[in-house]
Amino acid sequence: MGNRKSLFDQDRLNAYQECTYFTEKQIKKLYKRFSSLNSKKINPRKANVDARLSFSEMQQLPELKENPFKDRICAVFSTNGRGISFEDFLDMCSVFSAHAPWELKASYAFRIFDFDSDAFLSSSDIEQILSCITSSSFTDEDMSTVVEYVMKEVDIDQDKKLSYPEFEHVVSKAPDFTELFKMTIV
Ligand SMILES: [Ca+2]
Ligand SMILES: [Ca+2]
């Protein structure tokens, strides 16, 4: 009696705890939240780590819904480029948790902002970042002025694109920056 099967086996739970900033209890809660987004696909009572939610199902999560970078966030954390598995979700929540150090958040922010994934932030990436956060009230001319200004301020070696060290240097001086990459789910 009382031999109810646990959601995850202990080895897996231990591995998850090692790779994230979460406790066993929080990991189970996160699984519940994840399965609640589509319980037909993700069985709430039996851990299913292979099934994936589509990006639009994932974005129903209220904590993600309002984030202007939700599409890029899903793209960066999806390990197959098409959907979000529970382990992808766990990584996402861990990076966005209050316990993650800012260097980790910064390295993911760089990937999220790097729209064309070429490992640099170019003028076109910066333009897309600005249109995500400014509800696109800029005229094209305003936009290029702002992009030019931003670039001039932060492109230390003047090669017209931001490398990761240049980006890290900027965000280290912007304490509010991590607010964009915070999400408290458990
Ligand atoms: Ca880029
Ligand atoms: Ca540069």
Domain interval for residue 79: 10-95
Q: Does residue 4 belong to any structural domain of this protein?
A: no
pLDDT at 185: 83
Q: Does residue 2 belong to any structural domain of this protein?
A: no
Number of domains in the chain: 2
Whether residues 19 and 84 share a domain: the answer is: yes
What does each C-alpha distance from 142 to 90, 150, 151, 155 come to in angstroms? 39, 12, 14, 20
pTM: 0.91
pLDDT in tens, 32-46: 999 999 999 999 999
Whether residues 87 and 17 share a domain: the answer is: yes
pLDDT at 110: 96
Whether residues 36 and 87 share a domain: the answer is: yes
Q: Does residue 141 belong to any structural domain of this protein?
A: yes
CATH of the domain at 32: 1.10.238.10
Spell out the residues 6+ positions from residue 115 whose beta carbon is closer than 8 angstroms to its own. Answer: 72, 124, 125, 128
Q: Does residue 176 belong to any structural domain of this protein?
A: yes
Whether residues 154 and 78 share a domain: the answer is: no
AA identity, residue 170 = V
Ligand at shortest distance from the CA of 110: 1
Beta strands in 33-182 (DSSP E): 52-54, 83-85, 121-122, 161-162
pLDDT in tens, 128-147: 998 888 876 788 898 899 89
pLDDT in tens, 66-104: 899 999 999 999 999 999 999 999 999 999 999 999 899
CB 114 within 8 A of CB 166: no
CA of 43 to the centre of ligand 2 (A): 47
Final residue of a domain: which of 68, 95, 122? Answer: 95
Ion ligand 2: residues, CB < 5 A: 155, 157, 159
